[in-house]
Amino acid sequence: MLNIKADFYACHESIYRYVYQHKKNNLYQLLPRKNPKRGCRNTRKIHQKTHLLQRNIVHRPEEVNLRNTLGHWEGDTIHFPKNQISCVSTLVERKSRFLCLRKNENKTSPAVIKKICNAIISSPRKIWQSLTLDQGSEFMGYPSLEHKTKCKGFFCDPRSPWQRGSNENMNGRLRRYLPKKHLIDKTSQEDLDRIVILVNNTPRKCLGYQTPQEVFIQHWKTFRRATL
């Protein structure tokens, strides 16, 4: 065996750093998976998973499951063609099925959480007691939401959309007005508000053919009297 001394030594991290910092050279094409971006490190995934387990839906108060009280919401985002930068947050109140829509300038967590925070802050605080979300990356900024609004965040299990059944049903209804090929970048918040008015004033069988707005107002009046 030859004993050759190298003039310099580069660890594997230095090599990877060079490959990803010089993408124009297309050196990443020589890697096994040919990814142009480096994935998250395992330590970050474990840290994130720990927080999600602490806020799993099993820890949600039982009153949320019963749908007896106002103020417990389910949230999600609906997406459109990949060439569209924007997306829409859909928020549904579990008791009344009352809908709130917010357009996000992009799909990042700070943008999505900011719009949800604004929706909560602009409403009476007591009607936002909890918000159940999926484990999408756009919701990973939920600690900021809780800090600013005091609305508790909970997360469903992976690949379990039925744990947010009201929200999933609403997303299907919204596709009548916002189909998957819809150009959401050209849609304004005012356009979404008009859809919200239409949906919230449509009678629902699950509400005894009352509208979400009627049920929301009725229970909001009762809720206010009970908390005064």
8 occurs within a structural domain:
no
43 occurs within a structural domain:
no
Q: Which residue has the tokens 């107002």?
A: 217
109 occurs within a structural domain:
yes
CATH number, residue 189: 3.30.420.10
CA torsion 99-105-111-112 (nearest 10°) is: 20
Condensed to tens digits (0 to 9), the pLDDT of residues 175-195 reads 999 999 999 999 999 999 999
108 occurs within a structural domain:
yes
Torsion angles phi and psi, residue 60, rounded to 5: -70, 140
pTM above 0.85, yes or no: no
17 occurs within a structural domain:
no
Domain interval for residue 57: 50-227
Question: Considering its fold, how many domains does the chain have in total?
Answer: 1
CA-atom Rg of the chain in angstroms? 23
Cite the DSSP H helix spans in the chain: 12-21, 42-54, 62-66, 109-121, 142-149, 165-174, 189-200, 212-227
22 occurs within a structural domain:
no
Q: What percent of the chain has pLDDT over 70?
A: 87
| Per-residue pLDDT at 46 | 43
41 occurs within a structural domain:
no
**Nearest alpha carbon to residue 167 among 134, 139, 144:** 134
Low-confidence residues of the chain: pLDDT under 50: 1, 42-47, 226-228
